[in-house]
Amino acid sequence: MLIGAHVSPAGGLPHAIERGVERGCRSIQIFNQSPRMWRPTAYSPEDVAAFRAAMSASPIDAVLIHAVYLINCASDDPEIADKSLTSLVHSLTVGEAIGAAGVVLHPGSAKTGDVGDAIARAGAVIGEALARTGGCPLQLENTAGAGGTLGRSFAELAALLDAAGRDDRLGCCLDSCHLLASGYDIRTAEGLTVTLDEFDRAVGLDRLRSLHLNDSAQPLGSNRDRHANLGNGELGERGCAVFLSEPRFEDLPLVLETPGPKGSGPTAEEVALARRLRTRGRAARRRVAAR
């Protein structure tokens, strides 16, 4: 498991690698532009080369790009849909340039409209973005379910993949906070097993490409997306240890997106805590297996 954190690329792409190394990361996630603005950041060939050189010289094995929050591939507003397509194409283009393991995308929102129609619109935009770009994978993130967001269930994720054409580049990113908030009880090894079995039936484990680890400030089934620091939410240290030690998550990038102690994101201490919780969770699983 490649445990890491979301970090800032402020000051230039190579600084994201530096911040990841400072935090003891094996993987990092970045925004390729300001997450709440449509204006793209233009990266030169020199920027890309410097990033690749910095990553090659570091212990970081995977980088993810998180697409901007403004994107709504399911929008029935032609202007928003067009801006979403343009932004997603840009993210995938940057991802291919820097050798990203994937672009993580919130698929969109139906708001108060028909969910089936929204999924069809989202699939069309996603499929077009893939057609316009090269080899960078795209990973649809499960959502907490508030405000008509798509991807709150594995059935919706499967429908989105179908609507987008199930290209080989398409996969999923599972977020622990969103899983709990949308009603999947993953606080125990047994509960996580049931959840992943359901994901496998609906989507296929071969489509699982990355993970977000966040504790949840809101309870099971709340449909509220409120991240908490590890151990300080409804999952608790035990639930986080269960998630970190799941055998079917081996070799995947796992990124912390927690608020951090000062509201400025995950710290080296929290990344180290995640590693300790993984060790604790694996030991607990061995004790159960030995009984």
Q: Is residue 141 annotated as part of the catalytic site, yes or no? A: yes
What pLDDT score was predicted for residue 244? Answer: 98
* pLDDT, average across residues 250-254: 97
What pLDDT score was predicted for residue 112? Answer: 74
Q: Is residue 227 annotated as part of the catalytic site, yes or no? A: yes
Per-residue pLDDT at 35 exceeds 90: no
Per-residue pLDDT at 57 exceeds 90: yes
Taking the CA atoms of 243, 13, 32 and 225 in sequence, report the sign of the dihedral they define: positive
* pLDDT, average across residues 139-148: 93
What pLDDT score was predicted for residue 286? Answer: 94
Q: Is residue 6 annotated as part of the catalytic site, yes or no? A: no
User: To the nearest whole number, what is the mean pLDDT of the chain?
Assistant: 96
Residue with the bigger pLDDT between 113 and 77: it is 77
What pLDDT score was predicted for residue 116? Answer: 95
Share of the chain above pLDDT 90, in %: 94
Q: Which of 122, 208, 141, 128 is nearest to 171 (CA)?
A: 208
Catalytic residue among 23, 26, 212, 278: 212
Q: Which of 276, 192, 274, 177 is nearest to 222 (CA)?
A: 177
Return d(Cα 125, Cα 86) in angstroms, integer.
10
Q: Is residue 175 annotated as part of the catalytic site, yes or no? A: yes
Confidence of residue 36 (pLDDT cuts 50, 70, 90): confident
* pLDDT, average across residues 11-25: 97
What pLDDT score was predicted for residue 70? Answer: 95
Beta strands 62-66 and 27-31: pairing type? parallel
What are the tens digits of pLDDT across the range 125-134? 999 999 999 9
Give per-residue burial for 177-195: e unless 16+ CB within 10 Å, then b: bbbbbbebebbebebbeeb
pTM for this one? 0.95
Beta strands 138-141 and 253-256: pairing type? unpaired
Q: Is residue 178 annotated as part of the catalytic site, yes or no? A: yes
Catalytic residue among 6, 19, 152, 178: 178
Taking the CA atoms of 268, 271, 273 and 276 in sequence, report the sign of the dihedral they define: negative
